[in-house]
Structures are given as structure tokens and as C-alpha cells.
Amino acid sequence: MIKRTLYFGNPAYLKTANEQLVIEMHDSGEAKSTPIEDIGILILDHQQITITQALIAKLLANNTAVITCDHTHHPTGLLLNLDGNSLQSMKFQAQIEATLPLKKQLWQQTVALKIQNQAALLAIQREENKYLLNLASVVKSGDPDNNEAKAAAYYWKHLIPDFLQFRRERYGPPPNNLLNYGYAILRAIVARSLVISGLLPTLGIHHRNQYNAYCLADDIMEPYRPYVDQVVCQIIRGNGRFLEMTPNMKKALLGIPAMDVIIDEQKSPLMNAVQRTTASLAKCFEGKSRKILYPEL
């Protein structure tokens, strides 16, 4: 069953009773409830939301990822369960002891699938993609030739319409805002699934920034990024130059966890596919497999 993504963008009081999330709206006084076990991601996007400690504890015990947003409505914090798997200590040890050659091979698979999915999205957008397909086919262990960066330069140049004069920059002009929001949701999905699979989101196979608490999440989300890009392209087609975040745009981005993807030749909601990906990664660390299971766009 796919878990729900709940978004709160208005003043509210959130508490718990009888294993339910109870929502009391400040403006109307209306009260609603929903089972905590059905929630996969909870997004808090208003400075006047109050949430009880009891509810936070139950959400984390349910492996719900809780995202907080700042005053600009950009996701800025993520809460995750610290005890998400019954064999966590064993899986942590296998992850920590993973050899450098193994991590390089896993990164090779990750980069190749990311570039393949970027090429597929360009094809959907009716753009030339042979250069990316060639790059994907020659990615070496550890990607020493930095094919990921070469692919990115070509990809962004051809994916976003010329009239936007786009450059991919975290704090750049739109549609960077839409990409950032979608990637933040994707990052939370991946980090949540890593915890459920008994892995440490901090210890990456490639990313090593000492200030980044989610290096492994940033690694594993790479082949999934084109799915976010696809949603942003759809938003651009419907809005042209007018790309400051609106409720409808946010609604489209919040639908990312439920997007249909093809993984292992089967259709699956993206959130469920990510869980299969992280479970396969855990098997790689344990020596039970040599391949990460990723979706193909």
C-alpha cells in the first residue's frame, strides 16, 4: 500500500488520539483525523502550525518522514526514525565495512541509470538524446571520467525551453525553485526508505560532504531526479514564464510519491519503488547481490 503525503499550508494544531493524527484548523475550528499508519510524508509549511511531541513520536515510530519548511515555503528540515529496522546493527556494520571497489561499482550503476533516465526524458520531450545514451554506455567504475557532469551540461541545455535562459543553480531563478522543492520531497522519500532498510542515510557511496547528513540519500536519489524534472517540464508547458510557486504547482510536486514508475519491468508508485531500491542496496552491502534495483523512465 502506498503511504499518503500530507501537506499543511495553513495555521493548524496537530495532535494525536487513538493512533490517529487529529487536525484542528485555527481559522474554522474544524477537526479532522486520519490514521497515522497511512502517512508516509508529513509536510509542515506554515509558521503557525503547532504539533505535539506525542504526535511527533508516533509519526517517527511509524517511519513517517516529517518535513518542515521555512518562511519562504522551502523545505528546510527533515525528521526520521532512528530505529527503522529490526536488524539495524547488522546492516549498519555491513554498510560501514563496504569496500571501495564495491562502492565504486554501485556508483557506476547509479550514474549510468541516471543518465539513461535523463536520455529517456529528452526523448519524451522530443529532444536529441544519443549523446546521453553514449555517455551512459561508457560509465566506468566510480565514474572517473565524470560522465555525470558531462551529461548534466547537455541535459539541462536541451531540457528546459530556451526562452527561460535556464541555468541549474540552487538559488537561481525559476524553475530552480520548482526543482528544489521536488528534489526535497524526493530526498525525504529516499532517506525514509534507507532508514526502513536499516541503512545510515549519512554514509554515502559517492557523496562525502562532512556537513551533509544525507549523503547516501543524495546518492540513491540520482536516477529518480528525472521523474521530478518531468513534473517540472509539465508545469512549464502549462505556465510559460510564470513560474513562481502556486498552489497548483505545489499540488503537482506533492504528487511525486504516487507517480507511476517502471521498476524490474513492473509498474509501481515511486515511493514503493524507492523502497525496493534501498532494499536492494542493503543486499549489495551484505554481499547478497551486486546490483541496485533502479527504475527506468
Find all residues with CB under 8 Å of 150, minimum gap 6, and list them. 135
Instruction: Give dist(CA 112, CA 3) in Å, integer.
Output: 29
Is 73 known to sit in a ligand binding site?
no
Asked whether the beta carbons of 110 and 219 are under 8 A apart, the reply is: yes
Three-class DSSP category at 294: coil
How would you list the strands of the sheet with 12-17, edge to edge? 31-35, 20-25, 12-17, 49-51
Instruction: Give dist(CA 33, CA 28) in Å, integer.
Output: 15
Cell numbers found for residue 110: 547509479
Say whether the peptide bond before residue 269 is cis (omega within 30 degrees of 0): no
- How many other C-beta atoms are found inside a 10 Å radius of the C-beta of residue 40? 23
Closest CA to 279 of 194, 201, 185, 215: 194
Is 127 known to sit in a ligand binding site?
no
Strands (E), the chain: 4-8, 12-17, 20-25, 31-35, 39-44, 49-51, 65-69, 75-79, 260-263, 266-269
Task: Tell me the residue type at 99.
Answer: T
Annotated binding site for Mn(2+): 148, 207, 222
Annotated binding site: 148, 207, 222
